[in-house]
Amino acid sequence: MTDVITVVADLKAKPGKEEALRNAALALVEPTRKEQGCIQYDLHLHLTDPGRVVFFENWATVEDLNRHGQSPHLKAFGAMAADLVESRNVERFRRIA
């Protein structure tokens, strides 16, 4: 299982858009967990900054992750993100142990 791809996506809401970002992010969870190759797709809310959410994802292959990037629900989220997200940091990792 060393080929697992992990994604950590940290999103910061624009002021006043905290709840909207949280709701939009929550809407991604159920359909994404049904996708081929999705091992784990968890959404976290920052303890002291309610405008910050973090996705922690594990995917079986890079191809599965790339397919996720083309999914209708993620594309719809991306279209909304410009209005909701002030900053984002998305990192990809490969499990080595």
**Residues 30-59: tens digit of each pLDDT:** 999 999 999 999 999 999 999 999 999 999
In degrees rounded to 5, what are phi and psi of residue 17?
Answer: -110, 10
Query: Please, is 53 exposed, middle or buried when counting C-beta atoms within 10 Å of its C-beta (0-12, 13-18, 19+)?
Result: buried
**pLDDT over 90 (residue 96):** no
Amino acid at 67: R
Q: Are 7 and 90 in contact (CB under 8 A)?
A: yes
Q: How do residues 53-83 score in pLDDT, each as one tens digit? A: 999 999 999 999 999 999 999 999 999 999 9
CATH 1.10.357.10 fits 5-94, yes or no: no
pLDDT value of position 1? 47
pTM of the model: 0.92
CA distance 88 to 77: 13
Q: What are the residue ranges spanned by the domains of the chain?
A: 5-94
